[in-house]
Homo-oligomer: A and B are copies of this chain.
């Protein structure tokens, strides 16, 4: 764990991704999820036939069919999913970063002396170019100011409100509708076959928990994310409550992902899904277990329907979700499955 540190000192990937967790007044009816749980058949209807879809159905058959030499006991069926870029859109900026930037005016209203202090001044200016140039240190300050210092209940309320109102500028929809329909189908298919599906995200744990049930059918207790400490105390009315502290307990990115999985789940997953170098260790850790395994990486190679970035396979590099050629090569060497959004997915969003 990168934890045990007294304050938020995290790399850009995590900081931004730490911001990347964002939910949804989603359009996915929970009844659909429930129905999927009563069947074990594949409903991967948004997937084109091909090696990626085949890898998923082969894995489920091998682990769940009675008599299969690779049968996995139901309680051992754990599947973990990265969120940003794996379950929903992360480009060009993690949604939780947008949330943090949007929260700055409210923070300044509560603490007016911040109005003329950087980086808050720049954020308030609305100058997009200047905001994009903020340093890591500045982003850390914004993260701490907008994600800590309030009660857990206050934070949940604020996040919920934002999620119902904020919209992605390209699709003009709540961020929580920008979920990859094929990945939802994989989650539902796995759950229908007895798997517990977990989100394991560099994004903020409390943030993602606010919408995980509604959007993904994943209950809050199955969200592992970058997590800060809380402090138990009493209000003036004697009522106990928890305050979110600026203390990093779990930096749930890169090596922090297997560490977080051990802390929060205590079992090694049989299947893991990611899309970037931040997910490499989670896939390696998953792959090192015995028995049937499924490791998959979503490759963003569809500039028309979503975005195209890599730099694997010559795709243009991105500040978010970096999928290096080295990771691509490791995937090929270890027989992980690379999902081409362009070729493997019939549709990307449910609203298409």
Q: Give the interface of A toward B (CB within 8 A).
A: 1, 3-6, 75, 152, 196, 205-206, 209, 213, 219-221, 223, 227, 229-232, 239-242, 245, 247-250, 255-256, 258-259, 262-267, 281, 284-285, 288
Q: Would you call B206 and A249 a contact (CB within 8 A)?
A: no
Q: Is the CB of B232 within 8 A of A259?
A: yes
Contact present for A239 and B288 (CB under 8 Å)? yes
Q: Is the interface of A mostly helix, strand, loop or mixed?
A: mixed
Residues of B within 8 A of A3 (CB): 3-4, 229, 247, 249
Chain B residues contacting A220 (CB-CB under 8 Å) are 265-267
What residues on B are CB-neighbors of A75 within 8 Å?
Answer: 213, 219
Residue of B nearest to A224 (CB): B264
Please state if B232 and A281 are interface contacts (CB–CB under 8 Å).
yes
Assess whether A242 is in contact with B230, with CB atoms less than 8 Å apart: no
Copies in the complex: 2
- Name A256's closest neighbour in chain B (CB-CB): B232
Please measure, in the bound complex, the distance between the C-alpha atom of A162 and the C-alpha atom of B209, giving whole angstroms: 38
Selected from B1, B196, B241, B249, the residue in CB contact (under 8 A) with A230 is B1
For this complex, 24 residue pairs linking A to B, each with C-beta atoms less than 8 Å apart, are A1-B231, A1-B245, A1-B247, A3-B229, A3-B249, A4-B4, A4-B229, A4-B247, A75-B219, A205-B266, A206-B266, A220-B266, A220-B267, A221-B266, A223-B266, A230-B262, A232-B259, A240-B285, A240-B288, A241-B288, A249-B249, A249-B250, A249-B263, A264-B264
Establish whether residues A258 and B229, one from each chain, have CB atoms under 8 Å apart when the complex forms: no
CB distance from A320 to the nearest CB of B (A): 23
Tell me which residues across on chain B come within 8 A of A281, comparing CB atoms.
232, 240
Complexed CA–CA distance, A4 and B5 (Å): 5
In the complex, the answer to whether B221 meets A267 with C-beta atoms within 8 Å is yes
Is there an interface contact between B258 and A242, defined as CB atoms closer than 8 Å? yes
Tell whether A255 pairs with B267 under 8 Å between CB atoms, given A1-B247, A4-B6.
no
> Measured between C-beta atoms, what is the minimum distance from A113 to chain B in Å?
27
The verdict on A240 contacting B221 (CB below 8 Å), with A227-B263, A229-B4 known, is: no
